């Protein structure tokens, strides 16, 4: 099953006999802003206009736990996550399509969580809401309770020790911007740099100017050039497990399975005892 769906395919599926549940996960990374500038409000954006029938999901409250020692966007409590997905209408026997404002990070986080906890049919709208070719609605659909019961997978998830080991035994991709990987700037976390042995693979290079993914062939060539050869174990991390999910999605489009270190740099760098590498070289 393809991990992404085009706007025209989604429109066709919504008109079909078994339309997907559509989740709107619009979100933006919270960083220091000019005094008085309000933070991005995903729910307000949803209420102003969304794909007809879509249900809003809050990334910070429903797709992540409280920030702390496990990182800025740690795994949510699985029971609470399951309850949120059922409230959104998610059922095991019904397809799910997720979109965000176009960057793809938030939608990928929802996609990864649903896939990791056992949903068999989840796709991300390629290009997000800007790619949607139909009209928008400001109607909030009536609540229809789903039956999805999340069952966390035995694979696909890395902790700090697993990420460190994979950087030596396989390939660990750092999905952040290159300047953060090199330690030249660090606008959010305690210290700049990267996990020793990790390879810089900025997630923005997985998409074209329109925000849509490169072709599966181009993505496969990109990741193989960075070390993801056949049979190599692959993992990804980022700042807090959001853009890294987008890289895992890009790898899935390329046909390359990968695990996600959800705690990512926000967890790794919070412990002064963990080693930090700087500069362009992995080590």
Residue 91 and residue 146 in contact, taking contact as beta carbons nearer than 8 Å: yes
Cα–Cα distance measured from residue 26 to residue 237, given in angstroms and rounded to the nearest whole number: 21
Beta bridge partners of residue 124, listed in sequence order? 4, 98
Cα 51-76-213 angle, rounded to 5 deg = 45
181 exposure class (CB count in 10 Å sphere: 0-12, 13-18, 19+):
buried
Q: Is 116 a catalytic residue?
A: no
CA distances in angstroms from 152 to 51, 67, 141, listed in the order given:
29, 21, 29
Q: How far apart are CA 257 and CA 209, in angstroms?
A: 25
Phi-psi map region of 224: left, alpha, beta (phi>0 left; psi -120 to 50 alpha): alpha
Among candidate residues 23, 238, 248, 250, the one labeled active-site is: 238
Residue 204 dihedral angles phi and psi, to the nearest 5°: -65, -20
Distances (CA, A) of 186 to 83, 167, 177, 190, 279: 35, 21, 10, 8, 13
- Per DSSP (E only), the strands in 54-139 are 55-56, 96-99, 122-125
Question: What is the rounded distance in angstroms from the CA atom of residue 180 to the CA atom of residue 174?
Answer: 10
Catalytic residues: 238
């Amino acid at each position: 099953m393809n991990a992404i769906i085009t706007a025209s395919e989604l429109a066709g599926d919504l008109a079909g006999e078994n339309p997907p549940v559509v989740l709107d996960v619009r979100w933006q990374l919270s960083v220091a802003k000019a005094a008085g500038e309000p933070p991005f409000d995903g729910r307000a954006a949803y209420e102003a206009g969304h794909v007809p029938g879509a249900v809003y999901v809050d990334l910070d409250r429903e797709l992540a736990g409280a920030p702390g020692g496990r990182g800025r966007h740690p795994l949510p409590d699985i029971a609470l996550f399951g309850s949120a997905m059922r409230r959104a209408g998610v059922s095991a026997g019904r397809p799910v399509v997720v979109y965000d404002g176009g960057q793809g990070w938030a939608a990928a986080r929802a996609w990864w969580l649903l896939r990791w906890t056992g949903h068999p049919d989840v796709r991300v709208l390629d290009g997000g809401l800007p790619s949607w070719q139909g009209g928008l609605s400001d109607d909030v659909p009536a609540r229809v309770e789903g039956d999805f019961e999340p069952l966390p997978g035995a694979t696909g998830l890395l902790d700090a020790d697993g990420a460190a080991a994979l950087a030596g035994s396989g390939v660990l991709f750092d999905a952040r911007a290159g300047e953060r990987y090199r330690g030249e700037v660090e606008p959010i976390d305690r210290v700049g740099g990267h996990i020793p042995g990790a390879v810089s693979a900025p997630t923005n290079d997985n998409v074209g100017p329109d925000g849509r993914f490169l072709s599966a062939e181009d993505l496969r060539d990109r990741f193989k050039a960075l070390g993801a050869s056949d049979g190599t174990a692959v993992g990804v991390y980022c700042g807090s497990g959001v853009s890294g999910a987008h890289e895992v999605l890009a790898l899935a489009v390329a046909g390359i399975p990968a695990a996600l270190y959800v705690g990512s740099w926000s967890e790794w760098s919070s412990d002064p005892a963990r080693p930090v590498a700087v500069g362009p070289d992995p080590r």
